[in-house]
Structure 1
């Protein structure tokens, strides 16, 4: 019976089935994501089902974890298809779980701030950095750090002019402060605050957090799909090895010679 891996595929065949370009297929082979392809006498690449599965696994894993880690996972499946691969997958799932738990804390913290209207605030209600630091119970250096990280950037007429926090800035600073207390880290806040900055209603804040939630869910699904593709690749490889290593059946004994 002919193995599925015996099917000869061209570069364009792999590209079409994996949903990528021909050049991407060559790049993935160069980076070790695809196993080295066999070559014809004239130098053309010959691919098989394992290359298609590897490309599909990479695409899903890259969507779930990012391209660098996606490459590492598929390369681990080729080189160390055991505890090493499972440890990388477990770590990827753990990071997503951590992001999901942090997001739940962020929802709770931002909900309380978003309920406070600021529509009646006047420009004269702006605060200096020391006033805002006192109001939040943080040091002025903390607000400067948030400014440098792009979390809360008050208007400044000149480089040496003192920071003045408008009511919008104050509200953003309170959101950042509450999310920090809830366990949100600076890199995660840097990704989240553009969705929340300038929001006036609870619905606006909720929508920003929901967008983050949808992103995490999509990445979780992609990681699950990628893990399934890796399992199919490993299962196919194990089956192929079993067929290759299985001893041949002994030859049938010769028929007895007929006697007169």
Structure 2
């Protein structure tokens, strides 16, 4: 279980102190300073680094942001927080929360789509139509039904995600109920953010008895991951506020008096 959030003690800090307070190793602290995650440390006359509490706050904030949106975006965001206005900072942090909420909604919609597909597959009508194949669709009809472009369906075919039949002398595509079902699962998983390799693995198991269960398990794991990322971002809230506040105070501080001596 994670430790409760606590304020760092007063500085100045050595590199080892910052590592202990932030939960990173000494080498990671140096690497993250080099990458610009934290401002450069002050240097003493003998070359030793000297850090302030703000560096600890920035490192803790980075941990939460990196878990929520990835390390590259987290580095960019922290740089913006240290240089932007408080309004810009609040907007940037809010956008991260919105992004996580959007991912969660997409996963929930995909989960609901799978429930609908499973319910349809359990009906006598589905079994009868599967035998008669009366509800087959053309690529245009299926793309409209799914809300995707025909080119997307062709790409999924190239990647082995959905396999239509080929009919007529013009070799026009025709999707039977099995292909339609696979296409709906692919749409649900892709909308939830899953890459082609993961989707291919799930679609490949659809002919098995546990195929739908596997797809459902993947989406449940996705929702759990989003929840953990959200909690991590919430835990970083106090440290993010400290970074933003320090940037605001620095921006509002009066400039040092100019030396007018000749």
> Structure 2 length as normaliser, TM-score?
0.67
CA distance in 1, matches of 2:49, 2:176: 63
- SS at the partner of 1:137? helix
**Rg larger for:** 1
The answer on whether the counterparts of 2:15 and 2:29 sit within 8 Å (CA) in structure 1 is yes
Selected match of 1:221 from 204, 228, 231: 231
Structure 1 residue 107 corresponds to structure 2 residue 107: no
| Offset, 1:222 | 1.6
Q: Judging changes above 3 Å, is the alpha-carbon distance between structure 1 residues 67 and 142 closer, same or farther for their aligned structure 2 residues?
A: closer
**Contact preservation (8 Å) 1:154, 1:166:** no
Equivalent residue of 1:69, what SS? helix
Distance 2:43 2:93 in 1: 32
For the pair 1:152 / 2:154, whether they are aligned, the reply is no
SS in 2 for 1:188: coil
Aligned residues: 223
Residue number in structure 2 paired with 1:94: 98
Distance apart, 1:5 and its partner CA: 7.7
Alignment of 1:1-260 (within 5 A): 7-115=11-119, 116=121, 133=138, 137-138=142-143, 141-148=151-158, 150=159, 152=161, 171-177=181-187, 179=188, 188-190=193-195, 193=199, 196-197=202-203, 198-199=205-206, 200-201=209-210, 202-235=212-245
In 2, Cα distance between the equivalents of 1:91 and 1:133? 40
Moved more, 163-172 or 21-30: 163-172
CA contact (8 A) 1:133 1:143 kept: no
After superposition, the C-alpha distances for 1:107-130 in whole angstroms (9 at most, x for unaligned) are: 11111223426xxx9xxx9x9xxx
TM-score scaled by length of structure 1: 0.67
Unmatched runs of 5 consecutive residues or more in structure 2: 1-7, 144-148, 165-172, 255-262
Q: Which deviates further from its counterpart, 86-95 or 51-60?
A: 86-95
